[in-house]
Amino acid sequence: MQKSKNKEELVLGEERDKRNSLVAEQIEDRRKKQKELEERQKKAQEEAGKKLEEEANKKIEEENKKAKEEYDKKLEAIKKDLDNATNETARLKAENAKLKEDLEQARSNRQTPEAGRAGSTLENKENSSNE
């Protein structure tokens, strides 16, 4: 009887060891699965962060592109205004040179008393505009 009791205890001990071993394996599997889940979540968060960063960078690039286009348009307008002002300055200088030439010619044509008076009138106008 003692022998059968010992044998029964031995069988029960082996069964308990098997159950404990099974429980330990299940616990280890759960830990691995939990760790894998945490790693996947971390990876997903990193991917989401990268996507957000990429979207933000893309938006910034678009805003910079728009700002550059506006700047280029304004720069073109300024260049056009400068060209117009330069052309107008050249036209006015040419007109001024022509007027001076006409004045000099009028001064040199003072052969008649009327021409002299006309020259004097032109001189008076020039002198009054210079003052």
> In this predicted model, what pLDDT tens digit does every residue of 39-64 receive, in sequence order?
999 999 999 999 999 999 999 999 99
pLDDT of residue 123: 59
118 contact partners, CB below 8 Å, separation of at least 6: 106
* Per-residue confidence (pLDDT) for residue 119, from 0 to 100: 52
Q: Mean pLDDT, to the nearest integer, of 19-45?
A: 95
Lowest mean pLDDT among 4-18, 33-47, 80-94: 4-18
Q: Rounded CA gap, 33 and 43, in Å?
A: 15
In this predicted structure, the answer to whether residue 70 has a pLDDT above a threshold of 70 is yes
Q: Which of 66-75, 78-87, 121-130 is predicted with the least confidence, judged by mean pLDDT?
A: 121-130
pLDDT score of 126? 59
Mean pLDDT score of the chain: 87
- Buried b or exposed e, range 83-117, using 16+ CB within 10 angstroms: eeeeeeeeeeeeeeeeeeeeeeebbeeeeeeeeee
**Phi–psi pair at 111, nearest 5 degrees:** -80, -30
Contacts of residue 115, Cβ cutoff 8 Å, sequence gap at least 6: 106, 109
Give the per-residue pLDDT at 115: 47
Rounded CA gap, 6 and 13, in Å? 10
Residue 92: is its pLDDT beyond 70?
yes
